[in-house]
Amino acid sequence: MALILYLQPHKRITLKEYLTLAEIQEDLRGGDLTCVKLVSHYLQNIESNQHLNAFVEVYADEAREAAIAVDEKITNGTAGRLAGLVIGLKDVLSHKGHGLQAGSQILKNYQAPFNATAVQRLLDEDAIVIGRQNCDEFAMGSSNENSSFGPVLNAADPTKVPGGSSGGSAVAVQAGLCHASLGSDTGGSVRQPAAFCGVIGVKPSYGRISRYGLIAYASSFDCIGPITKSVADAALLIEIMAGADNFDSTVSVNEVPAYSRNLEWSGKARIGYIRESVESEAIAPDIRQQTSDLLNRLRAEGHEVTPVEIPLVDSLLPTYYILTTAEASSNLSRFDGVRYGHRSAEASDLESLYKKTRTEAFGNEVRRRILLGTFVLSANYYDAYYTKAQRVRRLVQEETSRFFEQFDFLISPVTPTTAFTIGEKTEDPLQMYLADIFTVQANVVGNPAVAVPNGSDENGMPIGIQIMAPYFGELKMLAFAQYLTELNRKSAAILNTNH
Ligand code: GLN
């Protein structure tokens, strides 16, 4: 996508790398840094990294104007809690008056008529939105290769995928094109790209954050989640976005704890880890190694670390794909060319309008899933697939609840491999679906899970570790994630001094 030159070369701004918003805000208070400088810095980075294809659209002028306004508020002492945060939004989140396409041509020229609740809450605290980010079409994919805007490249190695479906959002944080991103996670779409790009991604509990204004893929699975460089920022963003909302009846009215102020972990955790994740040949050797090294560090710190079997693990992906495609086939029926988005020019009657519009504008993966979903919901097969998958979902939920009676956290790698080569899995959907083997459980049961960086493989590609917690157990989960990143930092420091 062609972008205009934002800056004159002589105005080049170099800022230090900020891990947390708190550090940014400290410098903003100090007076050396301004939001205007921050925005220019990110625009400059976006400009010089266009080849990554992380953004579908950049709001340069608007972000600059917003920066001036927030700088003024800072001077007046009226700035919100997110002053200084420059954020990008996955192209599935409604942002009033801005393009919204879910990476698809079927929503060509569509503009969001209102703000998603999550987006509104960030804006209310003075976050600055810098653009909308590339993703797999309708959030269906694990590699960002299903976007009608073309693939996103992994900044650690541009021949590799960034993961998906929030690929643009993960790369934008990885490559410093914005400070944080908002993605959506239906089966791993925040955590898996975060792991492939070496950043942090959180899927909160189902119902923690309102889905109002999020384009639906599979409504009983979809969650909005942040992608950041620090656990502290993820905690703050969730805290601000979460909580009751009159526009989404599935969102919980449970009080939102102050996650960001309770990140100190103390005590010993009871940790279960999936035995296969450190033993199975199907997991990349470097990932097994890094995972078991981390488990050993946790043991050495006095935590109880126990291997567990998840008996229903083989049923997770089939259950996920039956239920999500069923829900998607229903959710996506609204895109018919009648009211908005693409409309076929070839149609001669209503039926051909539907058929031609949808055939022309949906990509292959979306079509595959609509067909699959329609099939599993069809009268003759409904009980054999849909009803059965619902039952299995319940069993997995019960099994997971039993697990969390004995353990505080379930730990596993985020993915069985590191980022793969672009094109490597596009012909084999089943191989592609396997990329989600560790992430889908949290969505099938609704529990929260976080992906945290855990070293890299021999080629320097990032590896992630996942912590899953009990339903609505974000508070402890985030504190433990914070603790774990510190533990990893310490051990990396020791390794460096030994070499
Ligand atoms: N990769 C998974 C899928 O293709 C998850 C997608 C998501 O979480 N949105 O369905």
Distance in angstroms (rounded) separating the CA atoms of residues 337 and 329: 16
Question: What pLDDT is recorded for position 2?
Answer: 41
Mutate to test the pocket of ligand 1, among 189, 316, 321, 417 (most ligand atoms within 8 A of CB): 189
Mean pLDDT of 352-378: 97
Question: What pLDDT is recorded for position 1?
Answer: 43
Q: Please give the number of the atom of ligand 1 that sits closest to the Cα of 189.
A: 8
293, with CB counted inside 10 A (0-12, 13-18, 19+), is middle
| Residue 192 CA, ligand 1 centroid: distance in Å | 9
**Portion of the chain with pLDDT greater than 70, in percent:** 97
| Residue 183 CA, ligand 1 centroid: distance in Å | 12
Question: What pLDDT is recorded for position 138?
Answer: 98
User: Does ligand 1 come within 6 angstroms of the Cβ of 141?
Assistant: yes
- Is pLDDT above 80 for 70? yes
User: Does ligand 1 come within 6 angstroms of the Cβ of 325?
Assistant: no
Question: What pLDDT is recorded for position 295?
Answer: 97
Strand order, beta sheet including 55-58:
55-58, 128-133, 86-90, 180-185, 223-228, 200-203, 449-456, 462-468, 409-413, 270-274, 304-308
User: Does ligand 1 come within 6 angstroms of the Cβ of 165?
Assistant: yes
What are the angstrom distances between the C-alpha of 179 and each of 132, 149, 284?
14, 23, 30
Domains of the chain: residue spans and CATH: 1-499 (3.90.1300.10)
| Residue 296 CA, ligand 1 centroid: distance in Å | 31
User: Does ligand 1 come within 6 angstroms of the Cβ of 187?
Assistant: yes
Give catalytic residue positions: 90, 165, 189
| Among the ranges given (6-20, 210-224, 382-396), the one the predictor scored with the smallest mean pLDDT | 6-20
For the segment 388-403, what is each residue's pLDDT rounded down to a tens digit? 999 999 999 999 999 9
Average pLDDT, whole number, for the chain? Answer: 95
Question: What pLDDT is recorded for position 310?
Answer: 85
What are φ and ψ of residue 135, in 5° steps?
-160, 170
Mean pLDDT of 360-365: 97
Where does the pLDDT of residue 7 fall: very low under 50, low under 70, confident under 90, or very high at 90 and above? very low
User: Does ligand 1 come within 6 angstroms of the Cβ of 139?
Assistant: yes
Question: Which residue has the least CA distance to atom 10 on ligand 1?
Answer: 140
What pTM was estimated for this model as a whole?
0.96
For the segment 152-208, what is each residue's pLDDT rounded down to a tens digit? 999 999 999 999 999 999 999 999 999 999 999 999 999 999 999 999 999 999 999
Question: What pLDDT is recorded for position 499?
Answer: 57
